[in-house]
Amino acid sequence: MNFKIKLTLILFLAITFNINAQDCEAIRAKAIQLETSLDKANPKTYYDYAMYIRLQVVANNNCINKDIIHSVYDLLVQGANNGSIRCAARLVMVSQFGLYNYPTHRYKAFEISMMFLKLAAETYESDPSLYNEFGYIIPTIYLRLYLQNKSWRYDFNSNPELAAAVFELFKLGEAPEIKESDKNSFKLVKKDYSKVWAYAYLLGSFGTTINYTKGIEEANKVDETYRNSWIIKILKDHSNDVDFSNPAALAFLGAREGKRWGYITQIDPYSNTIYQANISKVSSELLFEESYNNISTPLKEIINAAYPEYNDIAKKWEVVNESRLKESDSYPQWKFLPKNEQESLYSEALKGGKSTLKEKEQFQIYKAMVESGQNKALIQLANAYKLGEGVFPIGNQAIKTYKKALAFPTLKEQAAYNLAEIYDGYLDDVAINWVEAAKYYKMATNYNPKSYTMLGEMALFGVGGLTKSKTTAIEYFKKGYENGDNEASLKSEIIQLLPYTNNEIKSENYTLSLKNEEQIKIRNISNENSLTITVTYSVPQGMKKNTFKLFPSQQYNSAIKYSTWSPSAILTGEGEEDIIIYNNKFRKGSRQIGVFYIVGENQNEFQSLAYKIPIAICFLPQK
C-alpha cells in the first residue's frame, strides 16, 4: 500500500476513534445524569431518559451497554405506572407500530391503551395542552383497534359501553395536524385518529350522524387507498339501496378506481362489477349526463369529497368512456379474414408473452373465434377472463366459458381443472365452493396430478363433500406423487407424523417444549382467523443476559402460510408463550399441511433455534 495512503488511513482512523470515544463519553455521562434524575414524583423524567436511550438505538453507535438499550420498554412501563401520559402513549405506540426493535402486537396495544384510559381522562382535566400533545393517543388507538377488531381478533371481547365513553373523551381533544416534521410513528397515530372519525362518520359508530362528506375527508387524510377502500365498502353495503343505484355515478366510481392502478390485476373486483353492470346504461355522453343529473345526495357527497378534480360531467364521462375496465370488442372484421390469416393470428396469439401481439389483441382474437364458433379458443378466452390477460379478471365470465368448454372432449379436463381452481378460491370475486371444486378436481386427474393432491387435502379434513379419512387422503397423495406432483409426497409424509410426539427442542442456551398437543391435531377451524401454539421456554441458570424472542416463520421449506402473526416480548428465565398466526389473507378458506416453524432469536447475538412442528389445519370458509 502507498505510504501516504496508509498514513492517511491511520490518521483518519485515529481521529475518528478519538472523536467517537469522546462522543461516547458524553453520551454515557448524559445517560447517567438522566438515570440519576429519575423521580416518581416527576414521571416525565422516565420519558426523557427513555427517549434519550431511544436515540442511541436509532444511532446504533455502540456507546451504551445492550442491557441498557433493551431497557427502553421497561422505562416506559415505569413512567406510565407513575402517571406519565407521555410514557403511556409511547408504550401503546410501541406495540401498535413496532418501535425500538419490538414487533407490532395489536392485541397488546389494545390492552395497554385500555389500562391507561383513566390516565388520559385525568390528563385532559388537568392539562388539556398535554392531552392534545400525547393524551389523545390513548383513546385513539383503543378506538382504532376496537372498531376494526373483526379483521384481526375473532375472540375479541368488546365492551360497547366503555367504547362509547372513550369516544366521548376522544371527541374532546383538538384534531391533531400531520406535519412534515413529525416522526413517522406520530404521523401514523394521527392517521389512526382520522380512521376513527372515518368509521364514525361513514358507519354512524357511537351514535354519530352519518356524514359522507366529513367521513371521506377524514379518509383522505390517511391516503388514497384507504379512502377508496371505504368507497368500495359503502357501495357494497348499500348495493340494494335506491340512493346508491345511479348508473352514471356507479360507472364513474368503478372506472375511477380502475384508473389509479398500474396493473389491472390490482383493481378491486367490485370496481369492475359496478362498472360492467352500469356502462351499458350510460353508453353515450348524453345518457351519462341525463343519469348523473339525477344523482342522490349520498353519492354526490362521496364523489365531490373524494374526487374534487373531476368538477364537471364532461371530465367524469371521459374517465368512464376511456376506462381500462371496458371490455374490448372482438378482433375487427374477423369473420371476413381468410382462414389462413385467421390461423396465423391464432398461432401468434398462442405465444402469449413472446407474441408480437399485445394482450388486448390476443383477447380480441380469442373472443372473435368463440363468437364465430371456433371453439378451440374457448380455453384461451376463459384463461384471459381468469388471469386478467387483455381484460379485467371476471370470475363469472371465466366460469361460463370454461363450462362451455366442458362439452368438447379435448378441452374437458383442462376446463375442469381451471373450474376447480376458481371454486377453490383462485379469484376474489367468486365465493369458495369446495363441493364444486372437488367435483371438477375428480374430472381433471388425468390433466393435472395436483387434482389428486387437492382431493387428498379435502379427504383429510372432510370437506368438499368427501368423507373425513386420513387413509383416503394418503391414497390420493400417493396417486398425486406417482403422477408427477412432488408436493403430494411431502403432504403425505407430514400427516403420517401426526399426532406429533417430539414435543421438545434444546439448544446450548435454551429449551422449548410444546405445552398442548391438542393444538396440533388434524382439525378444522371455523368462525375465527387465528391459530395458537403454546410453548414453554427455559433459559438455563447462569444465562441472565440471554434474552430472546419467539416468532413463527415462513422462510423455511414447507412452512404453512399465514398473513400476520402476534410476536412475543423479550423473554428470559422460564415461562409460557402463545405463538399466534392470523389467517386474514385466506378469509375465504384455506387448507394448510406443512410445518409450523417457531424461531427463537437471541437478543445478545447468541445462537438461534428453529422448532419444527408438522401440522395440518383447515380454516373453513367464513360465513
Residue 107 has pLDDT above 90, yes or no: no
Residues 351-363 have a mean pLDDT of 96
CB under 8 A, 24+ apart: contacts of 558-565: 558/490, 558/494, 558/594, 558/595, 559/594, 559/595, 559/596, 559/597, 560/592, 560/593, 560/594, 560/595, 560/596, 560/615, 560/617, 561/585, 561/586, 561/590, 561/592, 561/594, 562/531, 562/586, 564/152
Residue 305 has pLDDT above 60, yes or no: yes
Query: What's the CA gap between 539 and 595, in Å, rounded?
Result: 25
Domain edges within the chain: 29-217, 218-321, 504-619
Which residues share a beta bridge with 548?
571, 602
Architecture of domain 504-619: Sandwich (2.60)
Residue 154 has pLDDT above 70, yes or no: no
Cβ atoms of 103 and 567 closer than 8 Å:
yes
Query: What's the CA gap between 123 and 130, in Å, rounded?
Result: 7
The region of weakest confidence among 43-47, 48-52, 109-113, 125-129 is: 48-52
Cβ atoms of 620 and 525 closer than 8 Å:
yes
Give the pLDDT of residue 105.
79
Give the pLDDT of residue 74.
81
Most confident by average pLDDT, 52-61, 519-528, 605-614: 519-528
The region of weakest confidence among 2-6, 220-224, 469-473, 544-548 is: 2-6
Cβ atoms of 325 and 276 closer than 8 Å:
yes
Higher-pLDDT residue of 47, 388: 388
* Cα radius of gyration rounded to whole Å, the chain: 30
Residues 45-74 have a mean pLDDT of 72
Q: Quick count: other Cβ atoms within 10 Å of Cβ 531?
A: 23
- The alpha-helical segments, DSSP class H, found in 330-469 are 339-349, 359-371, 378-387, 395-405, 409-421, 434-443, 450-461
Decide: residue 176, CB within 10 A, 0-12 exposed, 13-18 middle, 19+ buried. buried
Residue 156 has pLDDT above 70, yes or no: no
Higher-pLDDT residue of 182, 566: 182
Strand, helix or coil for residue 443 = helix
The region of weakest confidence among 62-71, 189-198, 283-292 is: 62-71
Residue 338 has pLDDT above 80, yes or no: yes
Which residues share a beta bridge with 356?
none
Give the pLDDT of residue 12.
43
Return the axis-axis angle of helices 285-292 and 247-259, rounded to nearest 10°.
110
Most confident by average pLDDT, 55-64, 226-235, 257-266: 226-235
Give the pLDDT of residue 480.
97
**pLDDT digit string, tens, across residues 377-407:** 999 999 999 998 999 888 899 999 999 999 9
Give the pLDDT of residue 57.
64
Residue 546 has pLDDT above 70, yes or no: no
Give the pLDDT of residue 607.
53
Residue 600 has pLDDT above 90, yes or no: no
Query: What's the CA gap between 457 and 474, in Å, rounded?
Result: 9
Cα–chain-centroid distance for residue 360?
31
Residue 500 has pLDDT above 70, yes or no: yes
Residues 68-85 have a mean pLDDT of 82
Give the pLDDT of residue 326.
86
Residue 19 has pLDDT above 50, yes or no: no
Q: Are strands 523-525 and 609-619 parallel, antiparallel or unpaired?
A: parallel
Query: What's the CA gap between 110 and 96, in Å, rounded?
Result: 8
Residue 153 has pLDDT above 60, yes or no: no
Most confident by average pLDDT, 71-75, 243-247, 556-560: 243-247
Query: What's the CA gap between 338 and 349, in Å, rounded?
Result: 17
Give the pLDDT of residue 512.
86
Residue 223 has pLDDT above 50, yes or no: yes
Q: Taking all residues of the chain, what is their mean pLDDT, rounded to a whole number?
A: 87
Nearest Cα neighbor of 378 from 329, 412, 348, 353 is 412
Strand, helix or coil for residue 600 = strand
Give the pLDDT of residue 18.
42
Of the chain, the end-to-end C-alpha distance in Å amounts to: 72
Residues 606-617 have a mean pLDDT of 81
Rounded to 5 degrees, φ, ψ at 376 are -65, -15
Q: Is 590 left (phi over 0), alpha (psi -120 to 50) or beta?
A: beta
Return the axis-axis angle of helices 3-36 and 44-59, rounded to nearest 10°.
160
What percentage of the chain carries pLDDT values higher than 70? 88
Q: Is the peptide bond before 103 cis (omega within 30 degrees of 0)?
A: no
Cβ atoms of 613 and 512 closer than 8 Å:
no
The region of weakest confidence among 255-269, 271-285, 416-430 is: 255-269
Residue 167 has pLDDT above 50, yes or no: yes
Reported as type and span, the H/E element at residue 255 is helix 247-259
Residue 5 has pLDDT above 60, yes or no: no
Q: How far is CA 288 from CA 148, 245, 272, 332, in A?
A: 37, 14, 18, 26
Query: What's the CA gap between 459 and 611, in Å, rounded?
Result: 28
Return the axis-axis angle of helices 72-81 and 44-59, rounded to nearest 10°.
160
Cβ atoms of 63 and 57 closer than 8 Å:
no
Give the pLDDT of residue 2.
52
Helix-strand-coil split of the chain, %, nearest 5? 60, 10, 30
Residue 453 CB partners (closer than 8 Å, separation 6+): 476, 477, 480, 485, 487, 488, 491
Residue 32 has pLDDT above 80, yes or no: no
Query: pLDDT confidence of 260, banded at 50, 70, 90?
Result: low
Higher-pLDDT residue of 65, 320: 320
Residue 428 has pLDDT above 90, yes or no: no
C-alpha torsion sign, points 491, 496, 502, 506 = negative
Which residues share a beta bridge with 480?
none
Residue 558 has pLDDT above 80, yes or no: yes
Give the pLDDT of residue 17.
40
Nearest Cα neighbor of 391 from 417, 370, 412, 415 is 370
